[in-house]
Amino acid sequence: MHWEDGFYCTYCGKEFGDQPDKLALHIRDVHEKSRGKHK
């Protein structure tokens, strides 16, 4: 992985360049749901 080039999702490897806010939203929206947050 070339993490020096910018931010990327540690779950799936999707790259976000210099947009950590989009990365945070991606992780929250896409990956946190699949970690067993059931009501």
Helix (H, G, I), strand (E, B) or coil at 25: helix
pLDDT given for residue 36 in this prediction: 60
**Both tokens of residue 10?**
């540690």
pTM exceeding 0.75: no
Cα separations (Å) of 3 from 7, 8, 10, 24, 37? 6, 7, 10, 16, 28
* Confidence at residue 33, expressed as pLDDT on a 0 to 100 scale: 76
- Each residue's pLDDT tens digit, 1-38: 554 679 999 999 999 999 999 999 999 999 887 666 54
pLDDT confidence of residue 23? 96
| 25-37 CB burial, b ≥16 within 10 A, e <16 | ebbeeeeeeeeee
